């Protein structure tokens, strides 16, 4: 077997890649300096206990709160049960339209320091798609129709349809090729904006019309989902929270389980014929590009980014818990008449109106996780 000696250019490129890794470079053996590893593979289940504790600071004569529950049972997550305590009246409820389940607690006037604690036990594991294999079980046609339909934040006509045609121009005719083209388009044209509050709002039409495709996961993956639907590919956002560090050493792809403030994360799935529901997460590619190092990496082929870019088309890491895939959610018992674009945060209200769910310190809720043996 012949071997090519590294040129001075190759050596300089390797040195530059190590420099870009900053303090992470120490974690990368010299032989692997060209590229980090990110390759989730299905394997053993991990069991977690996830606890949300919510305290109402200003009940104003009465308050109501809603806490999302992990409501997904699939090949990558199993829900084992929930426990909850409260000094108010608490019960499990569901939005009749979307079916999404949550814990609802009411606190009448006079309840001192309203509080509720919810603990959910789940099992989760990595996902990866074997693209050489086909024959996944068929999905219910009604489910596929639902995830081809527009939502309030994801219209499929006008500029969304126009952008979908642009993103898939030149792609092959298969849904895999179209999904890959859309994924690539999002990574190339959108960007992570750290100043966006929470995970963003997911207003796809507004972002495309403004031309500002900066945001966070609920924005960036919403673009991917909407463009897929507009291209005839069933797709959905999956709303959840990171519960553990990444096993691959990426700081931005994990969380501190002792305090999951700000760890909410929206992922995506596309239904591809022959493969079923396939994991997708272009938003996390953009997060690594923007925030994994002190420098904003602009090239998805960068050795720090490339394995994540490959791995998150068809896979994701099981250090994350899914809540639901619901859109246009109504909170049972709420005095408000509108809907939520999605349910990924605790919500609450008093006589003055809705609390700010994106301000966990002011709203006073804490989420933590513990891995069980």
What are the two backbone dihedrals, phi and then psi, of residue 16, each rounded to the nearest 5 degrees? Answer: -65, -40
- 72 and 212 housed in the same domain: no
Give the whole-angstrom CA distance, residue 40 versus residue 24: 20
Domain containing 238 — which CATH number? 3.10.620.30
Q: Interior CA angle at 300 toward 298 and 305, to 5°?
A: 105
Q: Write out the DSSP string of 268-284.
A: EEEEETTTEEEEE-HHH
Q: Is the same domain home to 260 and 348?
A: no
Do 65 and 192 belong together in one domain? no
H-assigned helices in 153-246: 158-168, 175-189, 204-210, 217-230
pLDDT score at 22: 46
- pLDDT at res. 112: 85
- Identify whether 24 is part of a domain: no
In terms of domains, do 60 and 148 share one? no
Q: Which domain holds residue 168?
A: 127-324
pLDDT at 336: 84
Closest residue by Cα to residue 204 from 164, 147, 145, 264: 164
Number of H helices and number of E strands within the chain?
Answer: 9, 17
Residue 47 sits at φ, ψ, to 5 deg, of: -110, 130
pLDDT tens for 171-220 read 999 999 999 999 999 999 999 999 999 999 999 999 999 999 999 999 99
310 and 331: one domain? no
Q: Is residue 357 part of a domain?
A: yes
Residue 33 lies in a domain: no
Note whether 277 and 133 are same-domain residues.
yes
Q: How many domains does the chain have?
A: 2
Instruction: Looking at the structure, tell me whether residues 119 and 133 fall in a common domain.
Output: no
CA-based end-to-end distance of the chain: 47
Note whether 185 and 294 are same-domain residues.
Answer: yes
Predicted pLDDT of residue 34: 64
Q: Is residue 6 part of a domain?
A: no
17 lies in a domain?
no
Residues 342 and 354 in one domain: yes
Q: How far is CA 13 from CA 7, 177, 304, 310, in A?
A: 10, 31, 13, 21
pTM (2 d.p.) = 0.89
Spatial distance between the Cα atoms of 229 and 16, rounded to a whole number of angstroms:
40
pLDDT tens track, the chain, 373 positions: 333 334 333 333 444 443 444 444 444 433 334 688 999 999 999 999 999 999 998 878 889 999 999 989 999 999 999 999 999 999 999 999 999 999 999 999 889 889 999 999 999 999 999 999 999 989 999 999 999 999 999 999 999 999 999 999 999 999 999 999 999 999 999 999 999 999 999 999 999 999 999 999 999 999 999 999 999 999 999 999 999 999 999 999 999 999 998 999 999 999 999 999 999 999 999 999 999 999 999 999 999 999 999 999 999 999 999 999 999 999 999 998 789 999 999 999 998 889 998 887 778 899 999 999 8
Tell whether 254 is covered by a domain. Answer: yes
């Amino acid at each position: 077997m012949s071997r090519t000696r590294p040129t001075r250019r190759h050596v300089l490129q390797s040195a530059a890649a190590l420099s870009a890794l900053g303090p992470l470079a120490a974690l990368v053996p010299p032989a692997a300096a060209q590229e980090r590893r990110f390759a989730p593979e299905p394997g053993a289940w991990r069991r977690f206990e996830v606890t949300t504790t919510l305290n109402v600071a200003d009940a104003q004569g009465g308050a109501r709160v809603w806490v999302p529950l992990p409501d997904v049972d699939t090949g990558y997550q199993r829900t084992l049960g929930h426990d909850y305590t409260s000094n108010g009246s608490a019960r499990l409820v569901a939005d009749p339209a979307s079916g999404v389940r949550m814990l609802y607690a009411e606190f009448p006037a006079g309840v001192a320091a309203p509080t509720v604690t919810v603990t959910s036990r789940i099992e989760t594991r990595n996902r990866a798609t074997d693209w050489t294999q086909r024959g996944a079980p068929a999905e219910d046609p009604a489910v596929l129709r639902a995830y081809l339909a527009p939502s309030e934040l994801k219209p499929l006509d006008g500029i969304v349809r126009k952008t979908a045609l642009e993103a898939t121009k030149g792609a092959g005719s298969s849904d895999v090729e179209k999904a890959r083209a859309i994924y690539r388009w999002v990574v190339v044209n959108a960007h992570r904006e750290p100043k966006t509050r929470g995970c963003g709002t997911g207003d796809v039409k507004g972002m495309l019309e403004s031309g500002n495709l900066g945001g966070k996961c609920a924005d960036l993956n919403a673009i991917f989902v909407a463009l897929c639907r507009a291209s005839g590919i069933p797709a959905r956002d999956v709303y959840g929270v990171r519960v553990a560090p990444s096993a691959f050493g990426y700081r931005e792809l994990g969380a501190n389980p002792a305090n999951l403030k700000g760890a909410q994360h929206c992922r995506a799935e596309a239904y591809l014929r022959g493969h079923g529901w396939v994991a997708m997460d272009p938003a996390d590619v953009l997060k690594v590009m923007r925030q994994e190092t002190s420098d904003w990496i602009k090239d998805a082929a960068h050795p720090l980014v490339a394995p994540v870019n490959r791995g998150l088309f068809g896979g994701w890491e099981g250090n994350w818990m899914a809540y639901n895939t619901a859109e246009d959610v109504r909170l049972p018992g709420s005095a408000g008449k509108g809907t939520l674009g999605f349910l990924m945060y605790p919500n609450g209200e008093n006589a003055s109106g809705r609390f700010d769910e994106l301000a966990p310190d002011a709203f006073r809720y804490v989420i933590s996780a513990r891995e069980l043996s």
